[in-house]
Amino acid sequence: MSKKTNRAKTVIPYARRAVEDEYVQEQVRNAVARLSDVYARVSRQKVDAAEDRKLYRSLRSAAVSIRKAAGAIEEPPPKQKRRGRKVLLSGLTLAGIAVIAKRRTRGDSELPLQAPSTANNGGEPSGGEPTLRQTPAETSA
């Protein structure tokens, strides 16, 4: 294929989006209307165009519309793959498996449900629940 054919094929998706997308068409219509206002204002007036605020406002509006239309026609950037989450999740999974395997080899297959209380308030754990105390008679028997 020749270079002209390749160039024509690369333009086809952009042209299709420009024709089918109503937002792009609206922005182009707005830009054309503003540019025609600018042309009419310049051709009517003998005033210096550098000092005309309405002229600048119309030009700025046309430029913004053209920029929005071009941005809508361009292809969106490809989404980045989020590999970090998968790597982190698999690493945490492997670490958990390693901890469980190590505890089983040591014989600590049962995990404690609650950590023991460090502050002993008269024999009651920090949760406020009373504990069963053994009397001296029960311990000797």
Beta bridge partners of 124: 121
Contact indicator for 75, 21 with CB cutoff of 8 Å = no
What are the average pLDDT values for consecutive 10-residue runs of the chain, which has 141 residues?
74 85 92 92 77 88 93 76 80 89 73 56 53 57 51
Q: What are phi and psi of 76, to 5 degrees?
A: -70, 150
Contact indicator for 125, 131 with CB cutoff of 8 Å = yes
Round to whole Å and give the CA distance between 115 and 36: 78
Prediction pTM value: 0.48
Among all chains, which residue has been given the structure tokens 């068409």? 25
- Residue 128: the pLDDT is 54
